């Protein structure tokens, strides 16, 4: 009986998070030519963990999953959105003072550890890594942040990264496929060079799945554990609809952040296939 109030409280918090609520946008910041960061205040989000996501409702359009790119103790919260489809494009048209709907936060996030740590973001995958990096600066003996994009116009959060890492032992590596900024080539090529000469205790990654699969394979070769944030079609966000299933894993509930052990269990699908909107398996 002594545990009953705790169970009721836990159930209540889950129900509160899943309840749709509306928030007013406090700020809309243009990050690059296709990406914006939307900021709002929400008291439930202030206890979110890095790597968790929201189901974001754009009135009259759709509801889509978006990871948190900013978490604070006062409830000021942000999401970073790349305009790639109808819903994300409509969301990026929103202005300060507009209203959106949110549910969450949902899922399992990143687990910070101590040691020599790597944070690898591909494109807008760097967004969910920002709240994580804020945590890691408190525990890491060294942090290496690696960002890979197609060109200079796609770069994100350079000033924010510099500010976060200014007082810790760190390294920042930016790659562009066209060589317009930083190192020319793929971010995974730089990772391969780093792992060949440096012992790493954990790799955290988010971005295009083929990139993360390559990160995972390199990490396996060097016996380095990985935590990777996967993206899948999600309708419910709480593990009921099955639209995000990969292997026996429900990405919305068992993830979106998966460990090396979990990634090994879905090796036949990770980086290779996913379910489309009809539930049909398609190639990545």
Q: Per residue in 204-260, pLDDT tens?
A: 999 999 999 999 999 999 999 999 999 998 889 888 888 899 999 999 999 999 999
Return the bridge partners of 208, or none: none
pTM as predicted = 0.92
User: SS3 of 39, please?
Assistant: strand
3-class SS of residue 204:
strand
> Residue 273 and residue 171: Cα distance in Å, rounded?
33
Name residues of the chain where pLDDT drops below 50. 1-2, 4-10
Q: From the centroid of its chain, how far is CA 203?
A: 14
pLDDT value, residue 1: 42
Specify the pairing of strand 140-149 against strand 273-275.
Answer: unpaired
Give pLDDT, residue 12: 52
Which pLDDT tens digit goes with each residue over 27-48? 999 999 999 999 999 999 999 9
Q: Shortest CA distance to 81 belongs to which of 121, 36, 30?
A: 36
The reported pLDDT for the residue numbered 254 is: 95
Q: Is 156 exposed, middle or buried (0-12, 13-18, 19+ CB in 10 A)?
A: buried
Q: What is the pLDDT of residue 10?
A: 47
- 199 HSE (CA, 13 A, CB side): 2
Q: What is the DSSP letter of 48?
A: P
Map out the domains of the chain with their CATH numbers.
4-105 (2.40.30.10), 115-283 (3.40.50.80)
pLDDT score for 56? 97
**Residue bearing tokens 């942040």:** 145
Burial of 171-189, coded b for 16+ CB within 10 Å and e otherwise, reads: ebbbbbeeeebbbeebbbe
H or E stretch covering 26: strand 21-30
CA–centroid distance for 257 within its chain: 8
The confidence score (pLDDT) of residue 278 equals 73
């Amino acid at each position: 009986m002594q545990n009953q109030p705790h169970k009721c409280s836990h159930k209540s918090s889950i129900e509160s998070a899943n309840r749709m609520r509306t928030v007013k946008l406090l700020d809309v910041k243009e990050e690059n030519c296709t990406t914006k960061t939307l900021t709002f205040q929400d008291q439930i989000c202030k206890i979110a963990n890095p790597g968790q996501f929201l189901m974001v409702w754009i009135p009259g359009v759709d509801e889509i999953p978006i990871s948190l790119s900013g978490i604070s103790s006062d409830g000021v919260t942000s999401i970073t959105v790349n305009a790639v489809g109808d819903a994300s494009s409509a969301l990026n048209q929103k202005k300060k003072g507009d209203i959106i709907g949110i549910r969450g936060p949902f899922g399992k996030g990143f687990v910070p550890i101590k040691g020599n740590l790597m944070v690898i973001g591909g494109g807008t995958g760097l967004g969910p890594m920002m709240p994580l990096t804020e945590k890691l600066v408190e525990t890491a003996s060294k942090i290496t942040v690696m960002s890979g994009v197609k060109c200079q116009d796609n770069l994100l959060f350079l000033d924010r990264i510099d500010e976060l890492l200014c007082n810790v032992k760190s390294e920042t590596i930016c790659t562009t496929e066209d060589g317009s900024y930083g190192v020319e080539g793929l971010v995974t090529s730089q990772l391969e060079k780093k792992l060949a000469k440096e012992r790493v205790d954990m790799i955290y990654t988010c971005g295009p799945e083929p990139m993360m699969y390559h990160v995972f394979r390199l990490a396996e070769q060097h016996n380095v554990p990985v935590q990777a944030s996967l993206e899948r079609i999600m309708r419910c966000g709480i593990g009921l609809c099955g639209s995000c299933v990969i292997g026996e894993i429900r990405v919305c509930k068992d993830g979106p952040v998966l460990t090396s052990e979990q990634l090994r269990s879905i090796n036949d699908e990770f980086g290779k296939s996913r379910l489309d909107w009809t539930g049909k398996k398609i190639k990545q």
